[in-house]
Amino acid sequence: MPDLPTLKPVLAGKDVLRGEAIRLEALPEGHLLHVMGAITSEEIASHLLAAGLKESSVRPAGYRQWFIAGNEQLAKPIRQALADALAGRAFISDQSHGRIRIHVSGLDAVALLNKGTAVDLYPVNFPEGSSAMTLFGHISIQLTRTGGNDFELTVLRSFAQSLYEELEALALSFGSSRVAS
Protein backbone atom coordinates (compact mmCIF):
# COMPACT_ATOMS: atom_id res chain seq x y z
CA MET A 1 0.00 0.00 0.00
CA PRO A 2 1.42 3.42 -0.90
CA ASP A 3 2.27 5.81 1.87
CA LEU A 4 -0.27 8.53 2.45
CA PRO A 5 1.00 12.06 1.90
CA THR A 6 1.86 13.91 5.08
CA LEU A 7 1.01 17.54 5.60
CA LYS A 8 4.12 19.67 5.77
CA PRO A 9 3.67 23.26 6.92
CA VAL A 10 4.24 25.36 3.82
CA LEU A 11 6.37 27.96 5.60
CA ALA A 12 8.28 25.42 7.72
CA GLY A 13 11.84 26.54 8.26
CA LYS A 14 11.17 30.18 7.41
CA ASP A 15 13.04 32.48 9.75
CA VAL A 16 11.31 35.07 11.87
CA LEU A 17 12.50 38.56 10.94
CA ARG A 18 12.82 41.10 13.70
CA GLY A 19 14.03 44.66 13.88
CA GLU A 20 13.46 47.71 16.05
CA ALA A 21 10.19 48.50 14.31
CA ILE A 22 9.17 45.33 12.36
CA ARG A 23 8.49 41.70 13.18
CA LEU A 24 7.52 39.15 10.53
CA GLU A 25 6.61 35.55 11.25
CA ALA A 26 4.57 32.67 9.89
CA LEU A 27 1.76 31.71 12.27
CA PRO A 28 0.99 28.10 13.18
CA GLU A 29 -1.18 26.25 10.70
CA GLY A 30 -4.06 25.99 13.15
CA HIS A 31 -7.63 26.42 11.98
CA LEU A 32 -9.42 28.68 9.55
CA LEU A 33 -13.14 28.13 9.11
CA HIS A 34 -15.19 29.97 6.51
CA VAL A 35 -18.69 30.75 7.82
CA MET A 36 -21.44 31.76 5.40
CA GLY A 37 -25.01 32.63 6.34
CA ALA A 38 -27.57 34.90 7.97
CA ILE A 39 -25.83 35.29 11.32
CA THR A 40 -23.84 38.03 13.08
CA SER A 41 -20.22 37.99 14.18
CA GLU A 42 -21.43 38.34 17.79
CA GLU A 43 -23.53 35.18 17.48
CA ILE A 44 -20.58 33.31 15.96
CA ALA A 45 -18.35 34.51 18.81
CA SER A 46 -20.82 33.26 21.43
CA HIS A 47 -20.90 29.84 19.75
CA LEU A 48 -17.10 29.80 19.77
CA LEU A 49 -17.05 30.44 23.51
CA ALA A 50 -19.62 27.68 24.06
CA ALA A 51 -17.38 25.31 22.06
CA GLY A 52 -14.36 26.27 24.20
CA LEU A 53 -12.59 28.20 21.44
CA LYS A 54 -11.71 31.29 23.49
CA GLU A 55 -8.55 32.05 21.51
CA SER A 56 -10.23 32.00 18.09
CA SER A 57 -11.19 35.25 16.40
CA VAL A 58 -14.00 36.12 14.01
CA ARG A 59 -13.16 38.27 10.96
CA PRO A 60 -15.50 39.65 8.31
CA ALA A 61 -14.79 38.19 4.86
CA GLY A 62 -17.61 39.64 2.76
CA TYR A 63 -21.38 39.95 2.81
CA ARG A 64 -22.64 37.41 5.38
CA GLN A 65 -19.22 35.73 5.43
CA TRP A 66 -16.62 35.41 8.17
CA PHE A 67 -13.39 33.59 8.90
CA ILE A 68 -12.82 31.98 12.28
CA ALA A 69 -9.06 31.84 12.85
CA GLY A 70 -6.94 30.28 15.58
CA ASN A 71 -3.53 28.75 16.22
CA GLU A 72 -4.64 25.26 17.28
CA GLN A 73 -5.88 22.52 14.97
CA LEU A 74 -9.49 21.57 15.62
CA ALA A 75 -10.62 18.02 16.15
CA LYS A 76 -13.49 16.88 13.94
CA PRO A 77 -15.96 16.66 16.89
CA ILE A 78 -15.36 20.34 17.73
CA ARG A 79 -15.88 21.42 14.11
CA GLN A 80 -19.01 19.28 13.95
CA ALA A 81 -20.38 20.72 17.21
CA LEU A 82 -19.86 24.23 15.86
CA ALA A 83 -21.53 23.30 12.55
CA ASP A 84 -24.47 21.79 14.46
CA ALA A 85 -24.82 24.93 16.59
CA LEU A 86 -24.98 27.09 13.45
CA ALA A 87 -27.25 24.71 11.49
CA GLY A 88 -30.14 26.45 9.80
CA ARG A 89 -28.44 29.84 10.04
CA ALA A 90 -24.99 29.35 8.58
CA PHE A 91 -22.66 26.85 6.94
CA ILE A 92 -19.02 26.15 7.77
CA SER A 93 -16.30 25.25 5.28
CA ASP A 94 -12.96 24.22 6.78
CA GLN A 95 -10.23 26.17 4.97
CA SER A 96 -7.43 25.20 7.37
CA HIS A 97 -5.63 23.08 4.79
CA GLY A 98 -5.78 25.71 2.06
CA ARG A 99 -4.80 29.01 3.69
CA ILE A 100 -1.79 30.28 5.60
CA ARG A 101 -1.60 33.12 8.12
CA ILE A 102 1.36 35.52 8.39
CA HIS A 103 1.89 38.05 11.20
CA VAL A 104 3.41 41.50 10.62
CA SER A 105 3.84 43.82 13.60
CA GLY A 106 5.78 46.78 14.89
CA LEU A 107 5.87 50.56 14.61
CA ASP A 108 6.72 50.34 10.87
CA ALA A 109 4.15 47.63 10.07
CA VAL A 110 1.80 50.13 8.40
CA ALA A 111 4.64 51.61 6.33
CA LEU A 112 5.73 48.12 5.24
CA LEU A 113 2.18 47.05 4.32
CA ASN A 114 1.59 50.31 2.44
CA LYS A 115 4.33 49.18 0.02
CA GLY A 116 2.06 46.38 -1.22
CA THR A 117 -1.58 47.23 -0.60
CA ALA A 118 -3.90 50.13 -1.34
CA VAL A 119 -5.94 49.70 1.86
CA ASP A 120 -5.95 52.87 3.99
CA LEU A 121 -4.40 51.51 7.18
CA TYR A 122 -4.74 54.75 9.14
CA PRO A 123 -6.23 53.64 12.50
CA VAL A 124 -9.31 55.88 12.17
CA ASN A 125 -10.20 54.20 8.85
CA PHE A 126 -8.95 50.68 9.65
CA PRO A 127 -9.22 50.20 13.43
CA GLU A 128 -8.37 47.08 15.40
CA GLY A 129 -10.65 44.21 14.34
CA SER A 130 -11.02 45.51 10.79
CA SER A 131 -10.57 43.13 7.90
CA ALA A 132 -10.36 43.60 4.14
CA MET A 133 -10.11 41.25 1.20
CA THR A 134 -7.46 42.94 -0.94
CA LEU A 135 -4.27 42.47 -2.90
CA PHE A 136 -0.69 42.61 -1.69
CA GLY A 137 1.15 43.25 -4.92
CA HIS A 138 -0.46 40.68 -7.21
CA ILE A 139 -1.45 38.24 -4.44
CA SER A 140 -4.98 38.10 -3.03
CA ILE A 141 -5.08 38.23 0.78
CA GLN A 142 -7.32 38.92 3.71
CA LEU A 143 -5.73 41.69 5.77
CA THR A 144 -6.79 42.00 9.42
CA ARG A 145 -5.66 44.49 12.06
CA THR A 146 -5.34 42.39 15.22
CA GLY A 147 -3.81 45.12 17.40
CA GLY A 148 -2.58 48.70 17.25
CA ASN A 149 0.48 47.81 15.14
CA ASP A 150 -0.33 44.12 14.57
CA PHE A 151 -1.63 42.69 11.31
CA GLU A 152 -2.43 39.24 10.04
CA LEU A 153 -2.35 38.36 6.36
CA THR A 154 -4.26 35.25 5.28
CA VAL A 155 -3.27 33.89 1.89
CA LEU A 156 -4.02 30.84 -0.23
CA ARG A 157 -1.52 28.09 0.53
CA SER A 158 -0.09 28.06 -3.01
CA PHE A 159 0.83 31.77 -2.75
CA ALA A 160 2.17 31.73 0.82
CA GLN A 161 5.82 31.19 -0.13
CA SER A 162 5.80 34.07 -2.64
CA LEU A 163 4.05 36.43 -0.24
CA TYR A 164 6.39 35.57 2.62
CA GLU A 165 9.46 36.15 0.44
CA GLU A 166 8.07 39.51 -0.68
CA LEU A 167 7.40 40.48 2.95
CA GLU A 168 10.91 39.26 3.93
CA ALA A 169 12.51 41.56 1.36
CA LEU A 170 10.46 44.50 2.63
CA ALA A 171 11.20 43.71 6.29
CA LEU A 172 14.93 43.51 5.52
CA SER A 173 14.73 46.89 3.77
CA PHE A 174 13.21 48.28 6.99
CA GLY A 175 16.23 47.09 8.99
CA SER A 176 14.99 43.74 10.27
CA SER A 177 17.30 40.77 10.53
CA ARG A 178 16.72 37.02 10.51
CA VAL A 179 16.20 35.19 13.77
CA ALA A 180 16.47 31.40 13.55
CA SER A 181 13.02 29.83 13.81
Residue 29 — φ and ψ, nearest 5°? -80, 75
94, 122, 149 - which closes a domain: 94
For residue 10, tell me if it sits in a domain: no
Let me know whether 132 and 75 are in one domain: no
Distance, in Å, from the CA atom of 47 to the CA atom of 124, rounded to the nearest integer, reads 29
| Residue 130 DSSP class | -
pLDDT at residue 103 is higher than 90? yes
> 135, 153 in Cβ contact below 8 A?
no
Q: How confident is the model at residue 100 (pLDDT cuts 50, 70, 90)?
A: very high
Q: What is the pLDDT of residues 21-68, one digit of tens each?
A: 999 999 999 999 999 999 999 999 998 888 888 889 999 998 999 999
Q: What is the CATH number of the domain that holds 171?
A: 3.30.1360.120
Let me know whether 76 and 127 are in one domain: no
Residue 142 — φ and ψ, nearest 5°? -105, 125
Distance, in Å, from the CA atom of 104 to the CA atom of 152, rounded to the nearest integer, reads 6
Whole domain around residue 125: which residue ranges?
Answer: 16-28+98-179
| Amino acid at site 28 | P
Let me know whether 133 and 72 are in one domain: no
The structure's pTM equals 0.90
Distance, in Å, from the CA atom of 14 to the CA atom of 87, rounded to the nearest integer, reads 39
For residue 1, tell me if it sits in a domain: no
Structural domains counted in the chain: 2
Q: What is the pLDDT of residues 150-175, one digit of tens each?
A: 999 999 999 999 999 999 999 999 99
Residue 41's SS3 state is helix
Q: How confident is the model at residue 89 (pLDDT cuts 50, 70, 90)?
A: very high
